[in-house]
């Protein structure tokens, strides 16, 4: 899977950004703005507060000493009957906030007042097939356009000033089960200029996972890269290379509907010049129908954005039989260990293990459990492969008396994962990751299934249950160099929202009970909380305006837990849906107190 290509230097990336900025309006977003987003405090022009996805802000105006003075300055309601889960991370540029909402909607909001500037509603067709609620996780911005995906598997470019459609393109066929919910990724290239890169959703419907790169100006496809072995990539509409080797780890024709959807989107490292995507579960869930590792599902892959070729792949759960998607974000960071600086990347997998890899070549460095009582594997070997516990794989229905249901087993974590989509954060001050996790297990069994276009392609049944009486959600601070968990905050309901960390020594996240909370990044002490009135399943942001630091969170309960959570869903059935944007600050006169 490894290939060598000429890599783009940081200097050329910045030059590229200047060139783009020079060709558009002075206040438009250039590629250099996106690459350098983490260091810029007066705007947020990328998902993850920088393409690496560290979700760290260098702002310290709000800190441990004055967080008690944080209060809301405005709240914006999405309104109407279209509530459901709100998982969006807003973007901010030149006094305007761009935020997406459920049912494929977007708003532009005046950050000074909370007033609506414009709203765009996608006209969704009948028959869309989203697996895990009608969510949208965010947008991308470049030049004078904002981009986001819709539940009918399309990507839309809007005029940032007016909200009018500039172009709209089809990612895949929604009638076959494809959809799109992630924030697009924008990266620099030498050969093509900036590219707009997307994945797809639909792993429960037997789709084929694919990463696509487009020209942001026109929406035209530049390259495509399927993530299942045996499928061909393209460049400018012409077939290029096959992903992997046909039938290396898939039997017969199973690879044709092999799943692996990269539904969470990607990250990009300006040092390695690689784009990183996680891939979803193989299809169907019944692993006895597809013997082999089933590459490259439940994996992390690194793609060269110049040509769409896969540079390396690392499979966290080979031959996945528990729906342990490998889509969770791969965060680039520099790790100090044994007196050396390692160019690393980290990911907290659905399977319950926290992996550290060399981000340049995918070499395995370490894997440590970040949740308790893992049963599906006894550990991870020196090569990064799981050490199977054969008694904890769901049984083969073909071996049962009636051929309809295999042996049921209890597995930890549940298929919703030790960590699901909700992004973790990395602090450059403490060198720790802050991981939103859940402690739960599942009864799971296999069933017969055959592929049918647009129908669920599972071949499994399941029931999720908590494993502790007093909590499910757990926010953990983890040292990636040692795997040590430094502190843990326990929450009664599952945690389903992202995390933000700042130079002010703070860690922010939201809870389904409706609170946004701030914790001490070194001790885990809860320092502040505010009740927003509905559950939080989104990712907070912070920025600076006129010398004041602001904090924003999108609220609205939903996502996969109330839809797929079994006994856990009943436990949180009292929570109300909603749809709002809350913005907070500390007045200048109180910032020093």
DSSP of 424-456 = -EE-TTT--EEEEEE-EEEEEEE------TTS-
For 244-280, how does the pLDDT look when each residue is reduced to its tens digit (9 = 90+)?
999 999 999 999 999 999 999 999 999 999 999 999 9
Catalytic residue among 269, 320, 323, 325: 323
How does residue 3 score in pLDDT terms, banded at 50, 70 and 90?
very low
- Average pLDDT of span 462-471: 95
Tell me the pLDDT band of 434, cut-offs 50, 70 and 90.
Answer: very high
Lowest mean pLDDT among 39-53, 186-200, 346-360, 573-587: 573-587
Which helix (H) or strand (E) element contains residue 15?
Answer: helix 10-23
H/E segment holding residue 108: strand 105-110
Q: What is the pLDDT of residue 576?
A: 84
Residue 572 pLDDT > 60, yes or no?
yes
The reply to whether 451 falls in a domain is yes
Per-residue pLDDT at 589: 78
* Overall average pLDDT of the 355-362 stretch: 98
Handedness of CA 564, 212, 194, 274 (dihedral sign): positive
| Domain annotation covers residue 4 | no
Q: Furthest-apart CA pair in the chain: how many Å?
A: 74
Q: What is the pLDDT of residue 486?
A: 98
* pLDDT given at position 4: 33
Average pLDDT of span 17-41: 71
Token pair recorded at residue 174: 């929604």
Instruction: Look at residue 139 in the predicted model and tell me its pLDDT.
Output: 98
User: How many CA atoms does the CB half-sphere of 445 hold within 13 Å?
Assistant: 14
Q: Verify whether residue 323 is a known catalytic residue.
A: yes
pLDDT-based confidence at residue 293 (cuts at 50, 70, 90) = very high
Q: What pLDDT band is residue 571 in, cutting at 50, 70 and 90?
A: confident
- The more confident residue out of 121 and 569 is 121
In a domain, 190, yes or no: yes
CA atoms of 195 and 79, how far apart (whole Å): 34
The pLDDT score that the predictor gives to residue 105 is 96
pLDDT digits (tens, 9 = 90+) for 481-530: 999 999 999 999 999 999 999 999 999 999 999 999 999 999 999 999 99
Q: Is residue 3 part of a domain?
A: no
Q: Which pLDDT belongs to residue 593?
A: 61
Q: Is 280 left (phi over 0), alpha (psi -120 to 50) or beta?
A: beta
Residue 401's pLDDT is 87
Whether 90 and 541 have beta carbons less than 8 Å apart is answered as: yes
**Confidence class for position 458, pLDDT limits 50, 70, 90:** very high
Task: Give the Å distances, CA to CA, from 332 to 37, 344, 352, 429, 431.
Answer: 14, 6, 20, 15, 12
Average pLDDT of span 382-388: 97
Q: What is the DSSP string of 272-302?
A: TTEEEEE---BSSS-GGGS-S--TTSSEEEE
- For the cut 50, the answer to whether the pLDDT of residue 19 exceeds it is no
Is it the case that residue 357 has pLDDT exceeding 60?
A: yes
Tell me, letter by letter, the H, E, C secondary structure of 472-486: CEEEEEECCCCCCEE
* Between 163 and 84, the higher pLDDT residue: 163
Q: Give the CA distances from residue 410 to residues 183, 391, 471, in Å, rounded to whole numbers and listed in that order.
A: 34, 10, 19
Q: Would 328 be classed as within a structural domain?
A: yes
Could you tell me the CATH number of the domain that includes residue 542? 2.140.10.10
Is the pLDDT at 157 greater than 80, yes or no?
yes
Give a yes or no: residue 507 inside a domain: yes
Which two tokens mark 511?
């809870």
pLDDT at 26 over 60: no
As a whole number of Å, the end-to-end CA separation of the chain is 55
Q: What is the mean pLDDT of the chain?
A: 93
Geometric angle at alpha carbon 456, from 455 and 458, rounded to 5°: 145
The answer to whether residue 23 scores a pLDDT higher than 50 is no
Is pLDDT at 120 greater than 70 in this prediction?
Answer: yes
| pLDDT tens sequence across 324-342 | 999 999 999 999 988 999 9
Residue 2 lies in a domain: no
Given the structure tokens 């087993």, which residue do they identify?
A: 409
Domain total of the chain: 1
Phi, psi of 415 (to 5 degrees): -70, -20
pLDDT surpassing 50 at residue 199: yes
Half-sphere exposure of 148 (CA within 13 A, CB side): 33
pLDDT at 22 over 50: no
pTM, to two decimals? 0.94
Percentage of the chain beyond pLDDT 90 is: 88
Residue 5 within a domain: no
Main-chain dihedrals φ then ψ at residue 22, nearest 5 degrees = -70, -15
Assign 21 a pLDDT band (cuts: 50, 70, 90).
Answer: very low
Measured between alpha carbons, how far is 101 from 103 in angstroms, rounded to an integer? 7
Residue 583, pLDDT > 60, answer yes
Structure confidence at residue 390 (pLDDT): 87
- How much of the chain exceeds pLDDT 70, in percent? 95
Instruction: Tell me which residue range forms the domain holding 260.
Output: 10-590
């Amino acid at each position: 899977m490894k290939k060598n290509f000429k890599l783009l230097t940081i200097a050329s990336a910045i030059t590229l950004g200047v060139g783009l900025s020079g060709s558009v309006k002075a206040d438009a977003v250039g590629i250099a703005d996106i690459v350098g987003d983490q260091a810029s405090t007066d705007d947020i022009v990328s998902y993850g507060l920088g393409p690496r996805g560290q979700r760290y802000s260098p702002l310290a105006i709000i800190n441990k000493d004055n967080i008690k003075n944080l209060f809301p300055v405005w709240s914006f309601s999405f309104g109407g009957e279209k509530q459901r889960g709100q998982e969006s991370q807003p973007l901010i540029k030149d006094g305007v906030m761009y935020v997406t909402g459920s049912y494929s909607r977007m708003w532009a909001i005046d950050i000074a007042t909370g007033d609506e500037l414009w709203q765009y509603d996608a006209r969704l067709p009948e028959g869309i097939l989203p697996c895990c609620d009608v969510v949208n996780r965010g947008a991308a911005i470049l030049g004078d356009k904002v981009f986001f995906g819709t539940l009918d598997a399309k990507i839309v470019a809007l005029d940032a000033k007016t909200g009018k459609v500039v172009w709209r393109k089809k990612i895949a066929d929604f009638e076959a089960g494809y959809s799109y919910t992630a924030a697009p990724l924008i990266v620099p290239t030498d050969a093509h200029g900036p590219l707009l890169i997307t994945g797809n959703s639909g792993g429960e419907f037997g789709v084929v996972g694919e990463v696509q790169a487009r020209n942001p100006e026109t929406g035209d496809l530049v390259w495509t890269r399927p993530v299942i072995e045996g499928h061909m990539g393209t460049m400018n509409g012409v077939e290029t290379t096959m992903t992997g080797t046909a039938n290396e780890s898939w039997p017969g024709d199973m690879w044709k509907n092999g799943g692996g959807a990269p539904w969470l989107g990607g990250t990009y490292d300006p040092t390695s010049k690689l784009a990183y995507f996680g891939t979803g579960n193989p299809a169907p869930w019944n692993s006895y129908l597809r013997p082999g590792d089933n590459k490259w599902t439940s994996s992390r892959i690194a793609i060269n954005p110049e040509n769409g070729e896969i540079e390396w792949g690392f499979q966290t759960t080979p031959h996945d039989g528990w729906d342990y998607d490998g889509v969770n974000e791969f965060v680039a960071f520099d790790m100090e260990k044994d007196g050396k600086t390692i160019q690393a990347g980290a990911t907290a997998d659905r399977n319950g293990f926290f992996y550290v890899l060399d981000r340049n070549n995918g070499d395995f460095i370490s894997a440590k459990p970040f949740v308790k009582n893992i049963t599906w594997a006894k550990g991870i070997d020196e090569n990064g492969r799981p050490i199977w516990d054969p008694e904890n794989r769901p049984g083969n229905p073909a071996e049962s008396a009636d051929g309809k249901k295999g042996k049921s087993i209890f597995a930890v974590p549940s298929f919703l994962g030790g960590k699901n989509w909700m992004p973790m954060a990395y602090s450059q001050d403490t060198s720790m990751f802050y991981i939103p996790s859940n402690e739960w297990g599942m009864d799971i069994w296999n069933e017969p299934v055959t592929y049918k276009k647009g129908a669920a392609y599972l071949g499994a049944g399941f029931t999720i249950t908590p494993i502790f009486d007093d909590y499910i959600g757990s926010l953990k601070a983890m040292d990636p160099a040692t795997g040590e968990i430094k502190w843990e905050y326990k929450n009664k309901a599952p945690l389903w929202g992202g995390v933000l960390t700042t130079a002010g020594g703070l860690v922010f996240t939201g809870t389904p009970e409706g609170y946004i909370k701030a914790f001490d990044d070194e001790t885990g002490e809860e320092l502040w909380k505010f009740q927003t009135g509905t559950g939080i399943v989104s990712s907070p942001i912070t920025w600076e305006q006129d010398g004041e630091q602001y904090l924003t969170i999108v609220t609205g309960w939903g996502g996969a837990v109330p839809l797929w959570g079994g006994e856990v869903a009943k436990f949180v059935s009292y929570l109300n849906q909603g749809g709002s944007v809350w913005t907070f600050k500390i007045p200048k006169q109180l910032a020093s107190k």
